[in-house]
Amino acid sequence: MVVEPQRLGSLALAVAASFALLAPVTAQNLVIEGNCREGQPHGAYELRSPGGQVRVVGAFSKGKRTGSFLFWSGRGVRIAQLPYDEGVLSGTLALWYANGERTSDPSPKVEAGYMQGLLSGMKRSWFPNRRLRAEMRYERGLLVEARAYSETGKVLSDAEARALAARDLETDEQFYASLDSIIRAHLPRCEPASDRLEKG
């Protein structure tokens, strides 16, 4: 599929920048703080850079992610909040642009409702200037309604809005997968039947 550059604009650049900020995380020797129970991750979980900066915070329950996992860029800017229940996305997911400063409130990028791993309810996205970009309504993972706008505020046609929703879905899934890979690559080292605090 060929995507017109003017349709993606600054959002595509910001998403690319987010991927670039995450890429070094998988290569780093991050410090893992987490507990194990019966050979599985259990309880509070943290990833820190070698210098001590928090990169990921979350929790496991018997090896499954539970509650919110929060992610920060290498510059200390909050970039994602992924809610889990029994190891699957459930609740309100939020993404922020990573181009802010550590001391500032990051610009929202995406807010979406998930239920048992499927988009459910409203999904909103914004341009880096905080102008509304799109509002999509999903039911059990299926797009029901789509409204989208250009960076200048012009309303896009229904076909354009639905095409944007499809592209966003693909880009978002890639981003979530990159966050997931960070955690999978940095799980606590659990030994069978071990309740000890493990650091790696």
> For every one of its 200 residues, what pLDDT tens digit does the chain have, with 9 covering 90 and above?
333 333 334 444 444 444 444 444 444 589 999 999 999 999 999 999 998 999 999 999 999 999 999 999 988 999 999 999 999 999 999 999 988 666 678 999 999 999 999 999 999 999 999 999 999 999 999 999 999 999 999 999 999 999 999 999 999 999 999 999 999 999 999 987 644 444 44
Domain assignment present for 196: no
d(CA 65, CA 188): 13
Q: Based on the structure, what is the number of domains in the chain?
A: 1
Domain assignment present for 168: yes
Model pLDDT, residue 195: 45
d(CA 26, CA 136): 32
Domain assignment present for 167: yes
**With the C-alpha atoms ordered 162, 163, 166, 171, is the resulting torsion angle positive or negative?**
negative
Domain assignment present for 10: yes
Nearest to 134 by CA among 167, 88, 101: 167
d(CA 66, CA 88): 8
Domain assignment present for 95: yes
Domain assignment present for 20: yes
User: Which range of residues forms the domain containing residue 130?
Assistant: 5-184
Domain assignment present for 147: yes
Domain assignment present for 195: no
Model pLDDT, residue 17: 46
Nearest to 19 by CA among 73, 59, 67, 66: 73
Q: What's CA 55's distance to the chain center, in Å?
A: 13
What is the reported pTM?
A: 0.82
